[in-house]
Structure 1
């Protein structure tokens, strides 16, 4: 263990993967992630976040927030693991939500209290990887989703599918950009492990949620690009000014299948 991140690696996490090295000046929408498990603090925070999403229901606010929170934790933690072969502690106690805006879009980032870096010992990457995955999912997202699903009366399945969609996109698209051959090999291996082999306890659940929501990609009348049609609705349409403005993979859309990929 030790502080062994290279400057260029940190620069990539900051530039492309929602990683913050300093607290944001915008404290209204920033807070320690552990406050998501405090009823009063979480409720007050979500009330403030509602003004950003302009969602018509509390469940919609929670779902849209969960998308942002999934992205900011998953992006930097899993990219560091798969591309750099390095790990940081993304347990909920170690994470801070830092608020940033790009124009009118809210793009929060994650800041860690403890930056101690781990690397796998020779021949022990599997055990090391399990710990990284456990800290992120069982030690963070599972706790947040369990609390938020109860407080907002929203199914955990919606929140976990938000997470799964993020993981799929990261590994199938974003993580591969500019990756070398060794990185691509590790990225693919880790993705296959997360989807097909990672045991449920690493996610703090009785079933692997990434496997639960995986499905064949389809070309439909609503999308020429192959997509996984969601099994749950994320309530995006409840934060839109347009009626029936569903996201591109929403099960509420009329997806007449053209072909399977």
Structure 2
């Protein structure tokens, strides 16, 4: 088979072989990069680091609304609404379907960082009052801890524990729809855990931590997770700032994503 180069130049067998090797090498590098991104995304998903606001952002960027979104992700309505509300954590197959639908890499959904609100940008001052009122600014920053552990246990990531009731939020039946075209700027309150007020007392000063965990391998979020005497968890960012964690003590102790630091 004759192979041609630029301007109709016939390639020698050696030149054709070199081009074929370069082409295959590029394909292999792309496949390796995709595999690495998927592995990192899986690690973030298993760690419970996927954030609802990134799911909302990805869907809004692609202008994806309605029951077709749920169908494409392999779930029934209103599952995607519940993902965005942070009360139902997607299963791995559903999560990868969401990534494929939106065109975002699976590891993007668990990247650290906080969303930028439109009113914090210069674009806000260029919008008419009617355009500002139409902006959907409902942001849910994190998943309910019980939603994360329920899904990871069902997927076999966590060891099965004794039977317990589903988390309070998952028992709710009447919830606002999120996957409709935005028409107002109503913003629901962020989900709160029952122990969050008590945890806030530990965000400053000395920690009464009984166990401390860090991520295995290259860190995704970085920092440390401190389990307190009442089994609540404080997350200490790499900068030293502390905040109540969405990761439960059970998840830290049973997931291979974390490892316990030896006490001094």
Q: TM-score, normalised by structure 1?
A: 0.28
Return the index of the structure with the highest Cα Rg.
Answer: 2
Q: State the structure with bigger RCO (CA 8 A, min sep 6), 1 or 2.
A: 1
Normalized per residue, the structure richer in helix is 1
What is the TM-score normalised by the length of structure 2? 0.28
